[in-house]
Amino acid sequence: MLDGVCPLSVSPTHYYCCTSHRSQIPLTVLPYVDHAHSFLQPPLPISKGKHPGLSSQPRRERSPVRYICPEMNLYQITMNAHRDVDLKSIAWHAMGKYGFEAQFPASVIDEVNTIQAKTFSSSEKDVRDLRMLLWSSIDNYDSLDLDQLEYCERGTNGEIQVKIAIADVDIYVPKQSQTDRHAARNGTSVYTGIETFPMLPTRLSHDITSLVAGQERMAVVIEYVVLPDGDVRHGSLYRALVANKAKLVYEEVGDWLEGTRAIPPSVEQVHGLKEQVLLQNEASQRLKKFRVDQGALVLNTVEAQTLVEGGIVRDLVVQIQNLARSVIEEFMVAANQTMVDYLGKAGIPMIQRVVRVPKNWDGIVMTAALYHETLPEKPDAKALSLFLARQKDRDPERFPDLSLTIVKLLGPGEYMALEPDKPPYGHFALAISDYTHATAPNRRYVDVINQRLVKSVFDQKKSPYTLPELVDLSAWLTDREKAGKKVKRFMRKAAAAVLLQDRIGQTFDAIVTGASPKGTYLRLFTPPAEGRIVRGERGVLVGQKIRARLLKTDPYNGFIDFECTDREKFGAGQNFHSWSNSPKKSGRR
């Protein structure tokens, strides 16, 4: 029996839900759905470890199946020809499958409902009143969990002073509270494109602890100076009262900065904000150039986002990097470095964000050799950065797939506890030695931890975390981050399967993205869906353009199966020029 979950009565075709000990509702459901996360399944053995997960693999279901559970607000699914697929329910199942608690416990809801927004005074000790500054935020159009605000001023000798205000979440979510325990368990908000699973209840993350426009909020401010060459001089951290003057949107601001649209009304209508955003862009471009010159890797992987209208998947869209996103990314990198500098000078243990020097550097060297490039025998971030920049210019169409290959060979980022006066682990991809995550406490739990560490320095109190606690939390939060990415990837596949379900038999232009003993995979150009080649895959090469016929979709398992019907021939230097004859069919997997 899963902890805190009622046992289920099981028959060969019907499972029963007993979420409140009051009723048992007969259901016909897919065999692998998870009762603990508002889907239903037979009890599973609890795996060893701190947090039991779901270890069984889902299997394909061929016959029409339906289920309904009014008590849990699930909608009926009729699987005839994969019609009327309930992606929200699939998202809930995916959360459970990867070990998340998708629903807030009653104890958390009760606790949050008692919280009242605080009224702060500018006369409070050690709190600066910065409400008059022209703070603004840049985020997605639908984002409500606003974690940071930005403000710049010109300094002397060409310097630009930057202030980043970070939402004070800890003031409402103290350590070991019910809300804190739940946030630590999940570790991160998960954005699936279909359903958002926030780390904190929306009464907090969308309101009381969000830096929403027009509201006064308590924040932790991080200061640093951008020098004329783009290097950073770290500054101080302190508490401050702030007020967001405008919530800006990435696409609107980015297009304006790049000269493809007029100034957005959200910028134009606030006196002085135009000049403020232009100054922020100037500072971010300095920062980016300096980092790239130092060897920071410029990568561009394709991660399709689901476009949903009226509950229907309309399209898959690729998020385009623009100048507005660059402002936030560069500012947050510098702010996180300044946080590490501050905690390091205070002499307390902390959690760093690490991408180690890649163990599989030989694989990266071999990948470069395929493009007739030579990299040093020993890991060299700057050499790798220059190689990637050249390939982006030469072949932008295939660059996302090269980027994905390099990302996999570099290895994943992870959190690691760092003792005072110990050498940092470094972040190879960013070409910096000291880095952490501290700028998104509404969305990531590690940022809450770092915020508490900083506030203990403000208050000259003992660190709220011991080194062993930070070691354990680092490992757990690394695991939760990986799990969150798996949920998002699964849901992208499920949404793509729904989008393509009426196009069985059609042929698409695609590119081969992976080939291993586990299978051969592709990405369509339009829509940018990923799938597996299950026929005709013999002899295709990674990076090769092909034509693929859609054979089958299965949203419940995230499967999209294709047949390779034609392919381009290799030319010199991995250029493709002409189509070959259709390949011979190979066996099914």
Residue 123: its pLDDT value, please?
72
Q: Residue 186's Cα: distance from chain center in Å?
A: 14
Q: How far apart are CA 2 and CA 104, in angstroms?
A: 16
> Which residue is it, tokens 């309930």?
86
Q: Helix H segments across 376-520? A: 381-394, 399-410, 445-458, 467-500
Q: Residue 120's Cα: distance from chain center in Å?
A: 33
pTM of the model: 0.81
CB 566 within 8 A of CB 584: no
What single letter denotes the amino acid at residue 90?
A: I
> What separation, in Å, do the N-terminal and C-terminal C-alpha atoms of the chain show?
35
Q: Which two tokens stand for residue 13?
A: 């075709």
Q: Which two tokens stand for residue 248?
A: 């800006």
Q: Which two tokens stand for residue 522?
A: 């592709």
Of all helices (H) and strands (E), which one includes residue 361? Answer: helix 361-370
Residue 401: its pLDDT value, please?
83
How many Cβ atoms sit within 10 Å of the Cβ of residue 581? 7
Pairing mode, strands 507-516 and 414-418: unpaired
| Alpha-carbon distance values, 385 to 180, 291, 327, 363, 411 (Å) | 40, 10, 20, 16, 16
Q: How far apart are CA 235 and CA 225, in angstroms?
A: 7
Which CATH topology does 501-579 take? OB fold (Dihydrolipoamide Acetyltransferase, E2P) (2.40.50)
Alpha-carbon dihedral angle through residues 400, 403, 407, 413, given to the nearest 10 degrees: -80
Cis peptide before 527 (omega within 30 of 0): yes
Q: How far apart are CA 104 and CA 197, in angstroms?
A: 10
CB 276 within 8 A of CB 134: yes
Q: Which two tokens stand for residue 286?
A: 């300095």
* Domain extent listing, the chain: 1-84, 108-356+411-493, 501-579
Q: How far apart are CA 98 and CA 288, in angstroms?
A: 35
Query: What does each of the 589 residues of the chain score in pLDDT, given as a tens digit?
Result: 333 333 222 222 222 233 332 223 233 333 323 323 333 333 333 333 344 332 333 333 333 333 333 323 333 333 333 457 889 999 999 999 999 999 999 999 999 999 998 888 777 788 999 999 999 999 998 899 999 999 999 999 999 999 999 999 999 999 999 999 999 999 999 999 899 999 999 999 999 999 999 999 999 999 999 999 999 999 999 999 999 999 999 999 999 999 999 999 999 999 999 999 999 999 999 999 999 999 888 888 777 888 888 778 888 888 888 999 999 999 999 999 999 999 999 999 999 999 888 888 998 999 899 889 999 999 998 999 999 999 999 988 888 888 888 888 888 899 999 999 888 888 888 888 889 999 999 999 999 999 999 999 999 999 999 999 999 999 999 999 999 999 999 999 999 999 999 999 999 999 998 888 889 999 999 999 999 999 999 988 888 899 999 999 999 999 999 999 999 875 434 443 333 433 333 333 3
Q: Helix H segments across 114-234? A: 178-186, 202-203
∠ CA 501-504-508, rounded to 5°: 105
Q: Which of 99, 194, 110 is nearest to 481 (CA)?
A: 99
Residue 237 bridge partners (DSSP): 222
* No. of helices (H) and no. of strands (E), the chain: 13, 21
Of all helices (H) and strands (E), which one includes residue 206? Answer: none
Q: How far apart are CA 274 and CA 508, in angstroms?
A: 44
Q: How far apart are CA 301 and CA 513, in angstroms?
A: 11
Residues in the chain: 589
- CA gyration radius, the chain: 25
What single letter denotes the amino acid at residue 73?
A: N
